[in-house]
Structure 1
């Protein structure tokens, strides 16, 4: 089924995104949701909504959504900027050091980042003496930031054609990495063909993605939105890579996005690390790739919504300001039915978002200073994966009220 209107085009899949199996099982309907990053200029502006349905494929063990929104609508003009968060910038430095060590990189080796955003994760390579770096990102407004900062960035979606064009101009890549993008890809076969065609025989590939195991354990349904088509486990990402004759040899956990997995792969088979073997066994022990496990997850999401609604209702005479107008907060706010009647405003440090309103829930997005001027009784941390950073920032500026956090697991006060 395909839908077309003045703003949104989408289709609903009947088959698995990796295996092609038609055995998809619906897990949870999150209702009709606005596109998470489609911030609006005016409150209560008429918005297009699209169904959001989480499903599971028993054949591939892949958790996924059925709806695919046109990628040009989602990503050609983007509002997330990697460098906004100090913790992300700090993580970029440690990530790059780790990759350099594992990839045995030389200073002249070609390094490519797919969905490179503003170049935050390429800049440490340049600062360490690796000048042959290239970013690829479809958002012209964000890529301009990188190019202006001296990080060469092509404005396009990654596919086999783009990879072949880069190879003709620069040669093969010794390192290609993609952080928080594989879950966004609607044509995985074309995406993977591009990686296979440009990665050198002795090259290193790295994927980082929000890990299905952490989503499951932390009940992180707020990470389900139209940009995130897939929610990979180690098993399901291994299946995808093996389809392209690529082999996983190491995996490690990262704190980004509330719990991510960093997977290292290559064209040639290498000895599997102890960390990889341990993680594989852990998935088996916890039944992370079982349908029944995810059906229980769906039931717990409904319970979590009821608990969230009860908690916020108990604060009806208090002033609540949110923190973090993130895409994941959009799913949560709209699933729970929270609007500007419940929450006065939401603070966000990204200047591109300030002055706009959240999708569906119509919360005004304000600067940190403006948010604190309202003297809130509670600050609701929507960007809970940056909780420590946010709490410290608010305390440093004199906020002495309470914080509300909905994830991971259960809504509570801190």
Structure 2
């Protein structure tokens, strides 16, 4: 693990600026075949940049990207609602920037090609993905999405530019929080873009993380926790212009950021969001002290609710094995003694065991097997809570949201 001493966005000294520490965990997507396998745990400490012009929040320690992503098991296309989100996203970008079948769209961290398939289906048919996880990239290729297996860096960007020409749009969705060297990655994006090209990325928004207590989105893949103010200064220093920001509902609350390779008129939304961030004290250490207290209180409440359910004869399972499951389990001291199994819709995770806690991951057919047998399912994939519950209407059991602590269909408990 590499320890950071400076801010990834402005270079200010950050050693000693830790404002929040969560319990050490294994890598959040390090699912294992053998439940007896010992797994390394890494600290989850967050640093706040002290610069009055920045205030970027980042992990103090960075795990090697090859450790995190070489055998990645997250696939975008397993969620119908996320596929629909990408469809709407692609249509909006095509309309905004007048893309056609001659426009090149490159997706960084393209995963299984879900977003690029939407661009292709809606008329922007020149697409190319960059994805470091070979197994996931092979899925994209099998779906007709040409993909380069690599981490994006300036050398890879130069090669792609030489082979395909300049890109009209470069996307990086739920990726910009995963990159340790943002200067190098952004320089590579500039190489890919044409003179009027646009870089668009979606990333979890720190304001929503704090407001909605989305602490479980803090894990080792996410080395950065973004707000608009630090990003404006960062892109200016890189010779680019952050010209618009939209708030979108994915992952509990995200922002879609638009960056031009040169000068461009800036939307008033940018200044409005910066002002709201400053008013919310997102650049103050006291905000993170309070956040830590709220996390601990939520953990206590959830453990009490689980104990109450068990005391009334209910058994527990889980639904969804996203990366955030790992942070939640370790932060709230939950383990295989609490949950018998975890259901997940991704075939890449079924048959494996959860990181560190080693709970078996199974398919949804297991729910049918235990229907009517007083099981309560805690929905770790809380961002898909409504969809999950709606798709299992016939299941006779209870559902529990770990963030709101709402218990659905559990009247028999009382």
CA distance in 2, matches of 1:73, 1:114: 19
Give the unaligned 5+ runs of structure 2: 409-414
CA distance in 1, matches of 2:227, 2:113: 27
SS in 1 for 2:106: strand
User: Which of 123, 134, 138 matches 2:128?
Assistant: 134
How far residue 308 of structure 1 moved from its aligned partner, in angstroms, is: 2.0
Alignment of 1:299-310 (within 5 A): 299-310=293-304
Deviations 1:80-129 (Å, cap 9, x if unpaired)? 00000000110111000111122222320111000000110001111122
**2:22 matches 1:30:** yes
Deviations 1:174-193 (Å, cap 9, x if unpaired)? 11110000110011111011
- Structure 1 residues 277-286 or 132-141, which shifts more? 277-286
| Equivalent pair of 1:36/1:330 in contact (CA under 8 Å) | yes
**2:377 matches 1:379:** yes
**2:314 matches 1:318:** yes
| Equivalent pair of 1:325/1:346 in contact (CA under 8 Å) | yes
Alignment of 1:9-20 (within 5 A): 10-20=1-11
2:357 is matched with 361
**2:265 matches 1:276:** no
TM-score (normalizing by structure 2): 0.93
- Structure 1 residues 303-312 or 188-197, which shifts more? 303-312
| Equivalent pair of 1:53/1:66 in contact (CA under 8 Å) | yes
User: Which of 154, 161, 174 matches 1:180?
Assistant: 174
SS in 1 for 2:19: strand
**What RMSD in Å do the two structures reach over aligned CA positions?**
1.5
CA distance in 1, matches of 2:356, 2:146: 36
CA distance in 1, matches of 2:227, 2:165: 32
How far residue 44 of structure 1 moved from its aligned partner, in angstroms, is: 4.0
Distance 1:17 1:276, change over 3 A: closer
SS in 2 for 1:385: helix
Alignment of 1:180-329 (within 5 A): 180-316=174-310, 317-329=313-325
**2:64 matches 1:70:** yes
| Equivalent pair of 2:367/2:395 in contact (CA under 8 Å) | no
1:114 is matched with 108
SS in 1 for 2:156: helix
Deviations 1:273-301 (Å, cap 9, x if unpaired)? 24334323322332223332222212222
SS in 2 for 1:262: strand
2:342 is matched with 346
SS in 2 for 1:52: strand
| Equivalent pair of 2:320/2:380 in contact (CA under 8 Å) | yes
CA distance in 1, matches of 2:227, 2:263: 21
| Equivalent pair of 1:58/1:291 in contact (CA under 8 Å) | no
- Structure 1 residues 55-64 or 84-93, which shifts more? 55-64
Q: How many residues matched? A: 401
SS in 2 for 1:356: coil
Alignment of 1:96-175 (within 5 A): 96-175=90-169
SS in 2 for 1:122: helix
| Equivalent pair of 1:103/1:203 in contact (CA under 8 Å) | no
CA distance in 2, matches of 1:64, 1:307: 28
CA distance in 1, matches of 2:233, 2:199: 15
CA distance in 2, matches of 1:354, 1:55: 35
- Structure 1 residues 175-184 or 304-313, which shifts more? 304-313
CA distance in 1, matches of 2:279, 2:180: 31
CA distance in 2, matches of 1:288, 1:68: 22
